[in-house]
C-alpha cells in the first residue's frame, strides 16, 4: 500500500502552516509555488498587503509576532515574522 501524499498549491502563509501541520503528522507532500521560492505574495509583488487577522493570532508555532507590531501588520513586519528557513527544504516545484 502506498502512503498518502498531499499537494500544497501556493506556499504563502497558509501553505507554510499546512507544511508545518503535514510535517508534524508525518504526511508527505509536494508544494507548488508560482514564484521561484516559497512565501507567495509575502516575498514581493504586493507592497500594499496587510493581514486581515490580528497579529496575536497570526504567528507561527514558536514564532509569535512581536507585541509592538500594529494590530493588523503590513507586508514588511508580517513578512519579517514568517519563519521561512524551516520551510526552505520543502519539496518545492516552480
Q: Look up the CATH number of the domain holding residue 54.
A: 3.50.50.60
Cell matching residue 40: 507567495
DSSP state of 62: T
- Report how many domains make up the chain: 1
* Local structure of 31: helix, strand or coil: strand
- Please give the residue range of the domain that contains residue 63: 5-93
Judged against a pLDDT cut of 70, whether residue 94 lies above it is answered with no
Q: What is the pLDDT of residues 24-75, one digit of tens each?
A: 899 998 888 877 777 777 777 677 888 899 999 988 888 889 999 999 998 8
Give the pLDDT score at 14.
Answer: 83
Global pTM reads 0.69
* Local structure of 80: helix, strand or coil: helix
Instruction: State which H helix or E strand residue 15 sits in.
Output: helix 13-25
Start-to-end CA distance of the chain, whole Å, equals 29
**Do 55 and 72 contact (CB within 8 A), yes or no?**
yes
Amino acid at each position: 500500500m502506498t502512503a498518502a501524499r498531499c499537494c500544497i498549491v501556493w506556499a504563502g502563509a497558509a501553505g507554510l502552516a499546512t507544511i508545518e501541520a503535514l510535517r508534524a503528522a508525518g504526511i508527505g507532500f509536494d508544494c507548488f509555488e508560482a514564484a521561484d521560492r516559497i512565501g507567495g505574495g509575502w516575498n514581493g509583488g504586493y507592497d500594499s498587503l496587510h493581514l486581515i487577522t490580528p497579529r496575536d493570532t497570526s504567528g507561527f508555532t514558536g514564532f509569535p509576532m512581536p507585541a509592538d507590531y500594529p494590530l493588523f501588520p503590513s507586508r514588511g513586519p508580517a513578512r519579517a515574522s514568517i519563519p521561512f528557513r524551516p520551510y526552505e527544504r520543502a519539496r518545492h516545484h516552480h
